Structure 1
Amino acid sequence: MSYPILILGGTTEAYELADRLVAAGQLRVISSLAGRTESPRLPAGEVRIGGFGGVEGLAEFLRIQAIRCVIDATHPFAAQMGWHAWEACTLCDVPLLRLERPPWTPASGDRWEEVASWSEAVERLQRLNAKRIFLAIGRQELQHFAGLDDRWFLIRLVSPPDPLPPFCRAEWLYARGPFDLAAERAMLDRYRIEAIVCKNSGSEATAAKLIAARERAIPVVMRKRPPRSPEVQSVATVEAVLDWLSRVSKM
């Protein structure tokens, strides 16, 4: 008999996991999306969109839906959701597994400036002699850079932010990955990019810009991942999640 599981999703891995589980037909799969993207791609199975209302709201959802286990497959920078999942699953005694892709690591020739906060990223940009900057950080943190009036920004997003941050000099690109290496090379050259700011998401879909930057000796201001709950078991692949679920189902 199938039982319900909850996938906290939005990542490529979360979509793949939902596809695999729904195709297997042995579980009731519910995916939760944060709802920050207009017209999001919907995963296989049941879908809910929007926040839970904190730890208590998530715990109530787990109880009402009789969730047997939770897979936290949110973005590596969705740290608050990870902590909420850990607290709610602890309250409800529900097994929790973290699915998180490995971070990128610098290779020979990379000019990374690793930072722990956006304020530090702004400081690094101010020290660099780069006037044309590619921002690839998503919609939520753009306001940190809007005050750098002496720089020009190329800002790539999946969809337009509302309201639009008050950049003095910027061009907006709306596109969804994956981005191939040839296209990233052409983009950096066409816009004469002199520095890149991004998060260490570790995604293969967006890694080509780092290779293109390395080839051009372009500095990359790289935001390090935030800390997560140390109590949560973590795996890096969908296959490892499926193996974990097979063991949990026998408990």
Structure 2
Amino acid sequence: MHVLILGGTTEARRLAQALTAGHPGWRVTSSLAGRVARPLLPEGEVRTGGFGGADGLARALRELQVDALIDATHPFAGTISFHAAQAAATAHVPLLALRRPGWVPAPEDDWHHVNSLEEAARALPSLGTRAFLTVGRLGLPPFASIDDVRFLIRSVDAPEPPLPPHSEVVLDRGPFTPEGERELLRTHHIDVLVTKDSGGEATAPKLVAAREARIPVLVVRRPEVPEGVTVVGSVAQAAEWAGGISGPGVSSRSGV
């Protein structure tokens, strides 16, 4: 049984650990996009870099003799998810999407939902003048032309230009704490938070701090999972699904 995990997330690492520990005879390979300089590596085999689109991934599924494909990428890694759906259909490999549940606002939250980073950039100046921008280093270009807002940008790796003209960069990696986020908002006089609906606990404390400070939050909705793809919200569910694929005499690559 060979499981290929499209990873790079906490859930992907936990899934690789669960599968290698629970099924010693399986081959578990995690694929990382290579966008983070010093990624936290999962257990099992690891490959880094893209596949060359849906066709390249389909070829890899055949060549690596993959029996099950699990898309455990970031909720906003939309392109690879569609490539995975196309490749799995082409190679006749079962596909599952593992997605951490999105965040849910509390009654006292002041959240403003938008559908894209571009919409967030257009809405931002009306909500505040000192923004805490937590959309990842690749999501900064839509904000680069805003000159009437001061930005505190947090990223795992140093972002490349273009950056907003009035910006300060903090390099850090979660998990974060409510205490730390409160201090960050207070020290930098933040009056608006901008984030993508990534879900999960590691970066959720910023939402708690924003709620307590009564500042608005611009939340970019996550893209849809490709139509027809089964989605689960926990590592345990994904591991159970993979176990069901490994029934005796079943060859997913033959389309059976």
**What TM-score do you get using the length of structure 1 for normalisation?**
0.96
Offset of 1:246 from its aligned partner?
1.6
Q: Quote the residue 1:143 is aligned against.
A: 141
SS in 2 for 1:206: coil
* 1:84 corresponding residue in structure 2: 83
180, 184, 194: which is aligned to 2:181? 184
Alignment of 1:20-31 (within 5 A): 20-24=18-22, 25-31=24-30
Matches of 1:18 and 1:64 in 2, distance apart? 21
Task: Say yes or no: does 1:169 pair with 2:166.
Answer: yes
Verify the 8 A CA contact 2:125 2:148 in the aligned structure 1.
no
1:239 paired residue number: 236
Alignment of 1:1-251 (within 5 A): 3-24=1-22, 25-128=24-127, 130-161=128-159, 163-250=160-247, 251=250
Q: Cα deviation per residue 1:188-234 (whole Å; 9 max; x = unaligned)?
A: 00111000110000121000000110111100000001122121111
What is the TM-score of this pair, normalised by structure 2? 0.94
TM-superposition CA deviations, 1:49-104 (whole Å, max 9, x none): 11100011000000000100001000000111111101000001100011101100
Q: Within 2, Cα distance between the matches of 1:26 and 1:235? A: 24
CA displacement at 1:247 relative to structure 2: 1.2
CA–CA distance in 1 between the matches of 2:103 and 2:8? 19
Q: Extract structure 1 runs of 4+ deviating beyond 4 A.
A: none
Amino acid of the structure 1 residue aligned with 2:185: L
Letter in 2 for 1:237: S
Runs of 5+ unmatched residues, structure 2 = 251-256
- Contact residue 143 and residue 163 of structure 2 kept, 8 A: no
Deviation of 1:26 after TM superposition, in Å, equals: 2.7
Structure 1 stretches of 5 or more lacking a match? none
Give the 3-state SS of the residue equivalent to 1:165 in structure 2: coil
Deviation at 1:139, TM superposition (A): 1.0
CA RMSD of aligned residues (A): 1.0
